[in-house]
Structure formats: C-alpha cells, structure tokens
Amino acid sequence: MDLMTKADVTAAPEAVAETPLPTGGFDHAALENEGPKAFGDRMGTPQPDERVLWKGRPQLGLLARTAFHARTAGGYMAALVVIALVTGRNDAAIVAALLGVALAAILTLLAWASARSTLYILTDQRLIMRIGIAIETRVNIPLKQITAANLAVRTKDGHGDIAFELAGERLLGTLLLWPHVRPFRYARPEPMLRAVPNAAALAQMIAEARAQFGAIERNLSEIKDAAPANAHTAGQAASLPQRLAPVIRRGEPGLEGAPA
C-alpha cells in the first residue's frame, strides 16, 4: 500500500471515518501539561523549532480488545460457564462466571490505565511516545528512521493501529514499548500507535511528513497479529525491493528511548 496515494485498509472503504484529523495550532506549553508529563525533557517535549502536526491517545475499548484481549478472555470464560452448565456442574459455572467477570474487569482496568498514561505526539521531525503505567517512558522516533508503515483499521469509525519498521540498530525492547508494539516482532520490535482515531488519515499524514527525508519505500496495508514464518511476512516479501538504510550507531542522533 502506498500511503502517499491511497490508504487501503482492512475495513471496508465505506466504513472508514472521513472526519478530518485535528492538526496544527498546538501549543507546546499546553502539551507539556497534557497526559504524562515530560518535565522539559527534549525526548518527550517538542522543541521550539519543531511543528506539532498531531497528538492523540488510544481509544479505551479498542485498546482493551486488541492489546489486552479482554473480550477474548471474557469469551473463553463464558464458554467454560456454558460447558459447566451443560454438564450439570452449576457450582463450577458460578465460579467460572465470577472469575470471568473479574478477569475482564482487571484487563479493562489495565487498558484504562494504559490509555490514561499514554500520549502520542507527531511533529515534522519525529514521533514522540509518552507511555508507561508504572514507570513512565519517553520514546523518540525520528521520522527519517521509519522505513515502512503497517496500517490496520479496526473499527467502522476509523480507529486502528499503525506499526513502524525502523532502520538502524535495535535500540528499543518489547518490554519497554508494550503494549505499544506490534506483536511477535521480538528480534526487531516495531513501535505501534495503538487504537488511534482516523488511523488511515494519520498514516497519510505520517507518510507526508516522512517525505521530506525521502518517501517511505515500503508500505503494507494489513497488520497480521501472528508470528511471521520468517523475518519478513509474506506481504513484505511480495513488496518492492528496498534499499538498505544507513545504520545509526549508538551515540549518534537517532532512535532514542529511556525511562523517565
């Protein structure tokens, strides 16, 4: 998928929200006090010479369903309740029902805490991720380091996920990023914007901002939440060949991530 021309998404085209993204006019000082605070750290605070293009947070319901699997866990426990009732084990059904409610509530609470402690900021130079429930972490992703964007629209109103393949050395870990990371990419973790509104339009904006450093060479239309057979998915193998990006050495300006 070429994000510069057309955003082909997993949802039906008519289901994608057409509401324009709120862009421009963001006050840097206001961003400092919104959500997780960066306390002036340049990794988490847009600098005066940067133009803020967009800010956003995960949508709670979608985050709970896709990252914390609250619906799946609830469905599993519901199935146990049905099996217990069918086999005449009413006591087991009651226990399974109570455990299912508690499990779904805990996962939803974790999703709420994660959404509340997250703020994504896109500037004309980088993507800033302020994340972390217990330990706040600020992750700085220069746009020039993005080599591929992976988009999946999850809901009819346009909420979805955008994951990024990055050039250079592996500087970010899955545990540091979770749940803001694409599943099953442990060797080279891919940071992910989770459950963001107007995901297709945001992907287009990111591609246009990235164009000043050169167009993204490879763009995929679908995120598969499954372990790849090889280092690349089948969709990646079918895409155009990609020139190797220059390696960013440690200590040079590039990908950064550190706990607050």
Q: Is 3 a domain residue?
A: no
Q: Is the model more confident about 194 or about 185?
A: 194
The domain in which residue 98 lies consists of 65-113
Confidence check: pLDDT of 9 > 50: no
Residue 156 and residue 211 in one domain: yes
Q: pTM of the prediction?
A: 0.73
pLDDT given at position 114: 93
Q: Is 87 a domain residue?
A: yes
Mean pLDDT of 42-52: 81
Residue 105 and residue 156 in one domain: no
Residue 187 and residue 69 in one domain: no
Q: Is 209 a domain residue?
A: yes
Q: Is 21 a domain residue?
A: yes
Residue 148 and residue 230 in one domain: yes
Average pLDDT over all residues of the chain: 75
| Cβ partners under 8 Å of residue 179, min gap 6 | 63, 67, 68, 114, 194
pLDDT given at position 233: 37
Domain total for the chain? 2
Q: Is 186 a domain residue?
A: yes
pLDDT given at position 105: 94
Confidence check: pLDDT of 242 > 60: no
Q: Is the model more confident about 171 or about 19?
A: 171
Residue 218 and residue 94 in one domain: no
Q: Is 77 a domain residue?
A: yes
Residue 105 and residue 160 in one domain: no
Banded model confidence at residue 16, pLDDT cuts 50, 70, 90: very low
